[in-house]
Amino acid sequence: MTLCKYSARPSWTFATNRMFLSSCPLRDTLGAHWDAFEARRRQFDPAGLFVPPLWGLVEQRAPGVFYAGCAVAGDCFCQEDAHCGPRNKCVPGRVFREYNVCVADVWLRDGGTGEL
């Protein structure tokens, strides 16, 4: 979410697939930095021997993958309740309203306090 809003760079160590395959393609937010990194990568690995499958998807600006429970697995930002798993709902985020987040049903019943 902040990657798109602030044109930020991700932490490659802590990022999940959904950060790289979200509604704002990562390579577009990085611009010239992406191109420079890719040129360096090709210089040291011209055969693409060390390129993980996710890298190819980012390079192609592939859309995210959606399936039941994908938000729980870290593969997507939810678009419907099924993406959140059992006893959770997909709702607009409090800070970034344009992005949905998974929220436990109990949070929705009590107005967001988490109390029963």
Considering its fold, how many domains does the chain have in total?
Answer: 2
Kindly state whether residues 16 and 56 are assigned to the same domain: yes
Kindly state whether residues 19 and 45 are assigned to the same domain: yes
Kindly state whether residues 59 and 72 are assigned to the same domain: no
Asked if the model's pLDDT at residue 72 lies above 70, the reply is: yes
Kindly state whether residues 53 and 71 are assigned to the same domain: no
Residue numbers of the domain that contains 88 = 65-116
Asked if the model's pLDDT at residue 114 lies above 60, the reply is: no
How many CA atoms, within 13 angstroms, populate the side-chain half-sphere of residue 58?
Answer: 22
Kindly state whether residues 28 and 85 are assigned to the same domain: no
pLDDT of residue 37: 86
Kindly state whether residues 5 and 58 are assigned to the same domain: yes
Asked if the model's pLDDT at residue 82 lies above 90, the reply is: yes
Kindly state whether residues 59 and 69 are assigned to the same domain: no
With residue 105 as reference, give the H or E element that holds it.
Answer: helix 105-109
Kindly state whether residues 60 and 70 are assigned to the same domain: no
* DSSP string covering 38-62: HHHHHHH-TT-TT--HHHHHHHTTP
User: Rounded mean pLDDT of the chain?
Assistant: 79
Kindly state whether residues 32 and 54 are assigned to the same domain: yes
Per-residue pLDDT tens over the stretch 35-58: 898 899 899 999 988 887 777 888
